Amino acid sequence: GDREMERKTVSTCPFCGVGCGIVVHTRDDRITWVDDDPANPSSRGMLCVKGRFGIPFVQHPDRLTTPLVRRDGELQPASWDEALDLVAERLLDYRGAFGSFASAKATNEDAFVQQKFVRLVMGTNNIDHCTRLCHSPSVEAMLVQLGSGATSNSYIDYEEASCLVVVGCDPDSNHPVIASRMRKAVDDHGTKLVVVNPKRIDLASRADVFLQPAPGTDVALFNGMARAILDEGLEDRGFIAARTEGFEAWRAVVMERTVEEYAQACGVDPHALRLAARLYARPPARRGLPADERPGSCLAWGMGITQHTHGTDNAHALINLALLAGQLGRPGCGISPLRGQNNVQGCGDAGCIPDSLPGYQPYRDDVVARFEEAWHAGIPREPGIKATDMVERIATGEIRAMYIVGENPLLSEPNLAHAGDLFRRLDFLVVQDLFLHETAELADVVLPACSFAEKDGTFTNSERRVQRVRQAVPRVGQSRADWEIICDLARRMAPHVGVDPGQFAYRSAADVFAEMARLTPQLRGISYERLEREGGIQWPCPSPDHPGTRYLYAQSFPRGLGKFVPVRQAAPAAELPDADYPLILNTGRVLYHWHGGTLTRRVQALLDQVSEVPVTIHPGEAERFGIADGDEVVVRSRRGRLTGRAIVTDAVRAGSVFVPFVKLRESAANFLTNNAYDEPSRIPEYKVCAVRVEKK
């Protein structure tokens, strides 16, 4: 009867790094609606508009249903055998000039198999993913200072904190369920809230202190907070003595300027800066805090910190603050780089980064030997090329062939006109994805992948929780899971490069996970059986009887002592306003669209909310350039232009314009942004460039 056709599948949201639990309802193999999963400990019965209404992309008529191969200049349908034989034959010619992007939207299993293919079959460590474009500076700084790049706390710690400091991010738009948990802390527990953002975000209305620094002046701001903490003797001397090194040298740099000088450098009120420092270092106890617990502060940050030419310095300045105040390693405190894509944590954990093996294990002899023993062949030991450099090195011929899985760099790279020129120069490009997007249109071969709802696997969310993804509907057309496609390709190539094809003969996603867990100490205790029985588990989980880890650094840091790293404020950005381009462009996201919009542009309910690129401009600037609210406007930089719709509000700072990076009606912020990079992390400066705005 009818009821047999209705099914419910418990899974994990495919959009942001919060990783909410969802229940996918289907009828006759069609997704009918999506509900929350009250049993999921990360989301506790909450979902945002994207999780609830954004899933129809899965069965959208635009989905790719067969492989496509370019013949006579046109992409034409082909069989899997034709397509994969061609890819295998061509890629064998480009070992040594090859790079691959993995997808932070794919599963851990997909990611693990992809990096294994790149290392073992292609013989290179040139693999990277979108972390390069979002939190690579955070990871870089955390690895240097602590020895681990992960979020240290859990979401429950936001609710148990006595103070929350939310920097350079807009959780209401980008991590809405985390925003709800933060509001709960403020409303129900009297948790203090400090918001730092050049834009007046919604959360600022709840803040005890709202600081609106000039773009690119974060180091001055955090050094100013540190100076205020030192002036008032609020540092945690016990923690500094027992758990850190480098304090004196760092302190000497911070003492070079006064709180007033720092405040002036970033354009904020020095009293507000001092108050923020006091609240962070020594917050008053929240309501309900156990008497024997020290009030804790959580520090959460986003791309506002990282996407700068000195993004790594910004992250260092923040981590220095956490070490100074001893706000690590207890309940209700910690540091959180808020992750963008659903599986950006897992994609890195699985080894899709150029500078380390799965589990962030270094290319050390003993580690490499363990992988070579498991895989019965040699793997390269030199670090690979980072994502942004792979694109730039197409120009030098160091990269001539690429395999891009689940990413659309021709929407996400900075300075899109330049990036497009480079991609067109590749000898051979393979794109594997759900839709024929901007990058796929340039490919020589396009392979149809299936979505999260058509396969089994795991995602790892921002609080390090490994959670199950379960197949809810049949696969669309001939699409296949990324890991299955890559295994099929790898088996065709393996005999030519001295690799046993049996290395790519997994029977199931569970099989792949078991190998990853065996080779990755932090995941060793996790298995599909446990996930089935217990639900999601937070790594590190070193053994089958280990319950998983709520917060890191209770006893020590992976590098031993936490390290203070002195940083000074550099020039705010690589490109600053001038007479021709008098405004600063700041970029970010909107609630109703997912990043560049490759998925959500195909969801009518979301498009109904926002269908044109909104250009938010300060009233003073609007008047100066003759722009009224609702006008169609053109924004230009030295690199390109876009058309959008003006929103006039003083939520943005005077002198600046805010544009989300979603592409709507052929307009995208990345036509404007600057391909200038932070040196240690190679992240582009998406957050600051110079533009002008005109009425169309």
Torsion of CA 186, 187, 188, 191, to 10 degrees: 20
| Contacts (Cβ under 8 Å, ≥6 apart) of 369 | none
Does 690 bind ligand SF4 (CB under 6 A)? Our answer is: no
| Residues contacting residue 269 through CB under 8 Å, at least 6 positions apart | 263
Question: Contact, 25 vs 36, CB < 8 A?
Answer: no
Task: From 11-19, 85-93, 399-407, 575-583, give the range in contact with ligand SF4 by CB under 6 A.
Answer: 11-19
User: Taking Cα atoms as reference points, which of 691, 692, 695, 687 lies closest to residue 169?
Assistant: 687
The minimum distance between CB 454 and ligand SF4, in angstroms, equals: 18
Give the Cα separation of 423 and 437 in Å (integer): 14
Cα 455 from Cα 458, distance rounded (Å): 10
Q: In whole angstroms, what separates CA 625 from the centre of its chain?
A: 35
**DSSP structure string for 122-156:** S----EE-GGGGTTHHHHHHHHHHTS--S--S-HH
Find out whether the peptide bond into 566 is cis, omega within 30 degrees of 0.
no
Could you tell me the two tokens for 318?
Answer: 């923040």
Looking at the Cβ atoms of 331 and 348, the one nearer to ligand SF4 is 348
Q: How many CB atoms lie within 10 A of CB 622?
A: 21
Q: Cβ 518 to ligand SF4, closest distance in Å?
A: 29
The residues in 15-74 that bind ligand SF4, with binding defined as CB under 6 A, are: 15-16, 18-20, 43, 47-48, 50-51
Q: Cβ 108 to ligand SF4, closest distance in Å? A: 16
Nearer to ligand SF4, 176 or 588 (CB): 176
Nearest approach, Cβ of residue 15 and ligand SF4 (Å): 3
Please say which residue, 43 or 616, places its beta carbon nearer to ligand SF4: 43
Q: Shortest gap between Cβ of 603 and ligand SF4 (angstroms)? A: 12
- The residue at minimum Cβ distance from ligand SF4 is 51
Shortest Cβ distance from residue 134 to ligand SF4 (Å)? 15
Pattern of binders to ligand SF4 over 405-434, x per CB under 6 A? ------------------------------
Taking the complex as a whole, the smallest distance from the CB of residue 682 to ligand SF4 amounts, in Å, to: 27
DSSP code, position 579: S
CB atoms within 10 A of CB 17: 27
- Whether the CB-CB separation of 441 and 74 falls below 8 Å is answered with no
CB 37 within 8 A of CB 22: yes
β-pairing, 192-196 vs 209-211, is parallel
Cβ-based nearer residue to ligand SF4, 177 or 266: 177
**Cα–Cα dist 44/54, whole Å:** 19
Angle between helices 259-266 and 270-281 (to 10 degrees): 110
Q: What contacts 347, CB < 8 A, 6 or more positions away? A: 102, 103, 104, 106, 108, 111, 129, 130, 131, 341
Closer to ligand SF4 by CB, 437 or 589: give it.
589
Task: Single out the residue of 206, 88, 117 nearest to residue 482, CA to CA.
Answer: 117
User: Should residue 13 be labelled a site residue for ligand SF4 when binding is judged by CB under 6 A?
Assistant: yes
What is the size of the binding site for ligand SF4 (CB under 6 A)? Answer: 14
Among the listed residues 613, 600, 650, 675, the one whose alpha carbon sits nearest the alpha carbon of residue 55? 600
Structure tokens at 298: 């959580």
C-alpha–C-alpha distance, residues 297 and 501, integer Å: 51
Convert 478-505 to b/e letters by CB count within 10 Å (16 or more is b). Answer: ebbbbbbbbbbbbbbbbeeeebeeebbe
Nearest approach in angstroms of CB 178 to ligand SF4 is: 7
Q: Which is nearer to ligand SF4, 22 or 194 (CB)?
A: 22
* CA 52 distance to own-chain centroid: 21
Which positions from 154 to 193 touch ligand SF4 by CB under 6 A, shown as an x/- string?
A: ---------------------xxx----------------
Q: Which residues bind ligand SF4 (CB under 6 A)?
A: 13, 15-16, 18-20, 43, 47-48, 50-51, 175-177
